[in-house]
Amino acid sequence: MRQLRRFAHKQSASRLGFTMIEILVVVAIIALLTTIGIISYTQTNKKARDGKRKADMEQVRSALVLYRTDEGEYPESLDWDTMSPITSYISGTSLHDPLSEPYTQYSYSSDGSTFEVCATLEATTPSEYCLTNP
């Protein structure tokens, strides 16, 4: 009986730690979950920046419609830094691309009677989001 206890004690003492396989499996699972989290975080950030770009385009569109109501035609060009000539029609802060400056993501074209204002998106297809006069 005494020998049996000694044998049981030796066997349990040798199993106190984790095996290398167990540690590798846990590390692999943690690495996989971390990778999935980083990818999800990156996509969420892209979608948030795209939402800001779309909101900016809606604000520019509204300002252009108000400008045409007062001036009789749409401006032929926009200065994205100062938003001239529609500065007084835009409420709140100045518009800027959430990722880069200058405004490489935004474009505007007009012939006076129509306009098209576009933003290049990161996370969606099609990658160009354009609004025209209503």
Domain membership of residue 25 (yes or no) is yes
Domain membership of residue 5 (yes or no) is no
CB 79 within 8 A of CB 107: no
- Structural domain count, the chain: 1
Domain membership of residue 2 (yes or no) is no
Domain membership of residue 72 (yes or no) is yes
Domain membership of residue 66 (yes or no) is yes
Q: Which is more confident, 5 or 125?
A: 125
Q: Could you read off the pLDDT of 63-74 as tens digits, one per residue?
A: 999 999 999 999
What is the reported pLDDT for 87? 86
> Whole domain around residue 80: which residue ranges?
18-132
pTM metric for this prediction? 0.71
Q: What burial letters (b/e) apply to 79-103, b meaning 16+ CB within 10 Å?
A: ebeebebbeebbeeeebbbeeeeeb
Residue 23 pLDDT more than 80? Answer: yes
CA torsion, points 107, 109, 115, 116, in degrees to nearest 10? -40
Domain membership of residue 80 (yes or no) is yes
What is the reported pLDDT for 113? 93
Domain membership of residue 1 (yes or no) is no
| Element housing 51 (H / E) | helix 20-71
Domain membership of residue 90 (yes or no) is yes
What is the reported pLDDT for 9? 55
